[in-house]
A and B are shown apart, each in its own frame.
Chain A
Amino acid sequence: MNIVVCIKQVPESPKLKMDRDRMTVIREGADSVINPLDCVALVAGVELRNQLGGEITVLSMGPPQTAGALREALAYGADRAILLSDPVFAGADTLATSHVLAAAISRLDVFPDLVLCGTHTIDSDTAHVGPQVAEELDLPQVCAVNEIFPEEDGLVVKRVEDGVLETLRVRLPALLTVSKELCAPGSLSLGGLSRAFSFGEVTCWDHRDLGLEPGEVGFEGSATWVVKLSSPPPRSKGEIVQGTSAVLCETLIRKLESLGILDEESAE
């Protein structure tokens, strides 16, 4: 089974620097990790590949430093890594991002049987890119999958959809997004690490390699613009109480009573 895993490098800390002109995040120079759910997708992909054979190609769109995340993906066991990097890709919304990823997947020598993504990223949390890549490649999609069982000509997957546990059969090729229940990313073996750094070659494709025009990618190719960023209205400043534990417990009980959580103490 040939598998593509799409990953994103995300800032380790939620505190980010902003490009105030474009209202986008400055990713250069921030401490970065592979988005946790993309790691889960990667580990799931490696397990399927080990079981069924085939190859795993990891794709990521981002600035040149994203090569680090792709090398890490090679250490997890991916066979090939492609960095989609070009100044014209910067400032992309999910529509433009999925366009670049889909273009890269359709340019691979062999079209994959399966595309895996994390359900969402911790930095922007839209959960758009998986379904949008599926749509552009005309693949069926199942989102937030938490179990995958290979079958003869497809996959059986399980997921919880709005309070219903579903078991689904998916014809291949298909795209799945995986949720955190699927499996925990293991720690890297030393063998994997040395493999990543001695043999780990990251191929880089720009918009010309993908046959895309600058106007259809990045900021220019995006449908949505962020026009304003502001701090959320602060919650009204509350009351702060100090004192002995007994007094504090008493205050808490009075508050719970006033909120109707506890009935007011009647004389016993």
Chain B
Amino acid sequence: MRRVQSSDACGRVWVFGDYRNYFKNRVTLQLIARAKDLAGKLDTGVTVLLLGERVHQWAMEYVAHGADTVVVVDLPALKDYRAETYSGIMSQLVELYRPEIILGGATRFGRELFPRLAKRLDTGLSSDCVDLEIDPSDRGLVQITPAFGGELLAEIVCPNRRPQMATVHPGTFKELPHDASAVGCILYPELEIIPDERVEKIRSRPERDRETRLEDAPLVIVGGRGMGSKDQFETLFELADLLGAEVGATLPAIQAGWAAPDRLIGQTGRIVKPKLLISIGTSGALQYTAGIRGAETIIAINRDPKASIFRMADLGIVGDGRTIVGLLLEELRKRF
């Protein structure tokens, strides 16, 4: 094992290595890919921080996906992700190696850890970025993030403090292919670790909740006020079963009691990024469209040709969603 205390040993663009649910949660790999672009512009390298218990195996994965350095802190006390303990360790590492930039996934844990760490380091943080760039004039990180319900994009900078910190929504960047021949440096710094035991786990179990299903779903059908009644809204569930889709709803449909509140799509609900989203009887209020901007293809069905949802639809169908869904169900029942 190597002890390296020199700040030059370590690339200055950092990524928080979240290995939980590795095969589905690829946000760390996506961030490494973007960090590599940024590091290239700053003439430095990419360092991944890997904290946990028995996590060495992931270090090689991160190198294979583009990390120049992986800093490993491997201890039983780090088995559970805890913002208090993790921010304590990360702030020590920051002091030791002085990064310019720290990136993390905008997962639940990322959104819990990064604000706490930014506060401890007395520096700036932007959340849920959709893009990251280097400003060539001052080599600062430009953090691009949706503002005001997705109506605008804000460019945020952190000119006077370091490190510059940002979280990024999973799926924003593309990971680099696995390169088994890649070579990287693995560091095991010696730190004084005081686990924070004020929050103690009693039990945990995996919860495949709707949030995860909706957010992972490749095909989402969303119903709005135009569905007219609970019975008509129910036909969307039948359609979803036939197509292998998940059902979401806009605020008016939820307020009418046609769907459970956990199906709310939009700024205050779930943000979805399916390959295809079919939006039926939805006018296209900002609150709602903020949650669907990331969809690859959008098909909208609405009776009103002026509905604002048509401005973002790849295919806009001017007609009564209830009738069209009815006809489509008839056709699909014949096929399956």
**In this assembly, does B158 line the interface, its C-beta being within 8 Å of a C-beta of chain A?**
yes
By a CB distance below 8 angstroms, the chain A residues around B142 are 227
Scan A231-244; emit 1 where CB is below 8 A from any B CB, else 0: 11011111111110
**In this assembly, does A14 line the interface, its C-beta being within 8 Å of a C-beta of chain B?**
yes
Contact pick for A261, options B113, B126, B243, CB 8 Å: B243
User: What is the CA–CA distance of A230 and B148 in the complex, to the nearest angstrom?
Assistant: 11
In chain A, residues 112-127, which have Cβ atoms closer than 8 Å to a Cβ of chain B?
Answer: 122-127
Q: Are A226 and B108 in contact, CB atoms less than 8 angstroms apart?
A: no
In chain B, residues 305-336, which have Cβ atoms closer than 8 Å to a Cβ of chain A?
Answer: 305, 310-320, 323-324, 327-328, 331-332, 335
By a CB distance below 8 angstroms, the chain B residues around A231 are 151-153
Q: Are A143 and B311 in contact, CB atoms less than 8 angstroms apart?
A: no
Name the distance in Å between B118's Cβ and chain A's nearest Cβ.
Answer: 7
Q: Are A229 and B111 in contact, CB atoms less than 8 angstroms apart?
A: no
Q: Are A230 and B153 in contact, CB atoms less than 8 angstroms apart?
A: yes
Total A residues in contact with B, Cβ cutoff 8 Å: 80
User: What is the CA–CA distance of A243 and B303 in the complex, to the nearest angstrom?
Assistant: 11
User: What is the CA–CA distance of A248 and B298 in the complex, to the nearest angstrom?
Assistant: 16
Name the distance in Å between B336's Cβ and chain A's nearest Cβ.
Answer: 10
In chain A, residues 48-101, which have Cβ atoms closer than 8 Å to a Cβ of chain B?
Answer: 93-95, 98
Q: Are B115 and A131 in contact, CB atoms less than 8 angstroms apart?
A: yes
Q: Are B201 and A168 in contact, CB atoms less than 8 angstroms apart?
A: yes
Q: Are A226 and B204 in contact, CB atoms less than 8 angstroms apart?
A: no
User: What is the CA–CA distance of A23 and B156 in the complex, to the nearest angstrom?
Assistant: 10
User: What is the CA–CA distance of A229 and B144 in the complex, to the nearest angstrom?
Assistant: 9
User: What is the CA–CA distance of A230 and B324 in the complex, to the nearest angstrom?
Assistant: 37
User: What is the CA–CA distance of A166 and B209 in the complex, to the nearest angstrom?
Assistant: 13
Stretch at the interface among A103-111, A133-141, A190-198, A202-210: A133-141
**In this assembly, does B249 line the interface, its C-beta being within 8 Å of a C-beta of chain A?**
no
**In this assembly, does B92 line the interface, its C-beta being within 8 Å of a C-beta of chain A?**
no
Q: Are A225 and B159 in contact, CB atoms less than 8 angstroms apart?
A: yes
Q: Are A223 and B108 in contact, CB atoms less than 8 angstroms apart?
A: no
Q: Are A140 and B158 in contact, CB atoms less than 8 angstroms apart?
A: no
By a CB distance below 8 angstroms, the chain B residues around A94 are 115, 125
Q: Are B155 and A171 in contact, CB atoms less than 8 angstroms apart?
A: no
Q: Are A235 and B314 in contact, CB atoms less than 8 angstroms apart?
A: yes
Name the distance in Å between B159's Cβ and chain A's nearest Cβ.
Answer: 7
Across the interface, name the chain A residue whose C-beta is closest to B310. Answer: A240
Q: Are B276 and A23 in contact, CB atoms less than 8 angstroms apart?
A: no
Across the interface, name the chain A residue whose C-beta is closest to B130. Answer: A232
Scan B277-313; emit 1 where CB is below 8 A from any A CB, else 0: 0000000001100100100011101000100001111
In chain A, residues 200-224, which have Cβ atoms closer than 8 Å to a Cβ of chain B?
Answer: 222-224
Total B residues in contact with A, Cβ cutoff 8 Å: 93
**In this assembly, does B123 line the interface, its C-beta being within 8 Å of a C-beta of chain A?**
yes
Name the distance in Å between A199's Cβ and chain B's nearest Cβ.
Answer: 33
Name the distance in Å between B85's Cβ and chain A's nearest Cβ.
Answer: 10
**In this assembly, does B56 line the interface, its C-beta being within 8 Å of a C-beta of chain A?**
no
Q: Are B206 and A164 in contact, CB atoms less than 8 angstroms apart?
A: yes
User: What is the CA–CA distance of A96 and B46 in the complex, to the nearest angstrom?
Assistant: 30
Name the distance in Å between B288's Cβ and chain A's nearest Cβ.
Answer: 10
Contact pick for B287, options A14, A171, A234, A242, CB 8 Å: A14
Across the interface, name the chain A residue whose C-beta is closest to B147. Answer: A229
Q: Are A169 and B152 in contact, CB atoms less than 8 angstroms apart?
A: no
Q: Are A170 and B199 in contact, CB atoms less than 8 angstroms apart?
A: yes
By a CB distance below 8 angstroms, the chain B residues around A39 are none
Between-chain CB contacts (< 8 Å), 20 pairs? A15-B148, A94-B125, A95-B125, A123-B148, A125-B128, A142-B199, A160-B108, A163-B209, A166-B204, A167-B203, A170-B198, A223-B161, A224-B158, A226-B155, A231-B152, A240-B305, A242-B318, A248-B319, A252-B328, A261-B243
- Which residues from chain B sit less than 8 Å from chain A, CB to CB? 20-21, 25, 81, 83-84, 87, 107-109, 111-113, 115-116, 118-120, 122-128, 142-143, 146-161, 196, 198-209, 211-212, 219, 243, 261-262, 267-268, 275-276, 286-287, 290, 293, 297-299, 301, 305, 310-320, 323-324, 327-328, 331-332, 335
Told that A14-B149, A125-B128, A223-B118 touch, could you supply 17 new A-B pairs with CB distance under 8 A? A14-B287, A131-B112, A132-B115, A143-B108, A160-B211, A165-B205, A180-B261, A224-B156, A231-B151, A235-B298, A235-B313, A238-B316, A239-B314, A239-B316, A251-B315, A252-B317, A262-B243
